[in-house]
Homo-oligomer: A and B are copies of this chain.
Amino acid sequence: MIGGVSRNNAGLSADRIITEALRIIDGQGLRRLTMRRLGDALEVEAMAVYHHFPLGKEQLFDAIVEYITDVSRPRGTDAETDAGAEESDTEADGAAEDDRPWDERLRTWAHDYRAALLRHSGALPLFINRRPDTEAALRALELQYAAFAEAGLEGADIVRAASALEAYVTGAVIREVRGEGLASAQSAALDGRFGHVAHLGELTVDADQAFGDGLEALLRSLTSGTV
C-alpha cells in the first residue's frame, strides 16, 4: 500500500478479492463464482488469485465465511473503503471493551450476525461443514461466553446457551431465505389435503419482528434456569 504500482502489480489484495467475490455471489449466485469470472471482475488473469490464496477456491471460501462472520468490522457503503481505524478510541486493536449489560451485547451480536447473513445469503451454503475456529468466530464465541457468564450461567450451561443462540440465528435466517414467497405458488395444488396449509398459506409474518420476539424469548429461557 506504500510503494508505487509497478507493471505487474494490479493492486490485488486478499481483501479486494474477497469483496469482489462477494459482489459476484450477491449479484449472480454462488454457482457463478468461478476463478475466471472473478479474475475478469478484478481485471486480472484468473490465476493471479492463486498468489493470494495459494490453496485455491476452498481457501477463498474460508476467507469469505470469516469475512461475513466478522460482524464487528466497520463497513463502508461499498465495502471497499479502507478508512476504518476509528471505532472505539480506547483500544487500538479493535478488541474494544463493551461495558453494556450482557443481554444488550448478545442482542446486538444476534441482530448484526443475522443482518450479515441475510445480506450475503447466497454464501450461506459455505457456512455448513466449515469449522468455526477462525479469529472472527472465536471472537464471537468469547463475546457470548462472557455475556452468559455475566448472566449467571456456569460451565456447560454457558456452552449450551451459546450453542442455542447461534443455532437460533442461523436457523431463523435459513428459514427466512428458504421460505420467501412460499405462500404464492402453493395454493393451486393442495385443495382437499393440507387443509391447514391452504387456510394459513396467505398469512405473512413480519420476519424482523418474529426474529426479535423469538430472540427475546430465547434469551429469557436460557437465563432463567428452565432449560
Contact = CB atoms under 8 A, between A and B. Distances in A.
Interface residues of A, number: 61
A109 to B, nearest CB: 14
A128 to B, nearest CB: 5
Interface string A112-152: 00000000011011111111110000110110011001000
A160 B172 CA distance: 11
Contact of A195 (B142, B166, B172, B200): B142
A158 B195 CA distance: 13
Interface string A181-222: 110011000100111110010010100001001100100110
20 contacts: A95-B193, A122-B129, A125-B129, A127-B174, A128-B177, A132-B182, A133-B186, A138-B186, A138-B194, A138-B197, A142-B194, A142-B197, A145-B200, A149-B196, A159-B205, A163-B205, A167-B171, A170-B175, A171-B171, A221-B221
Nearest to A147: B196
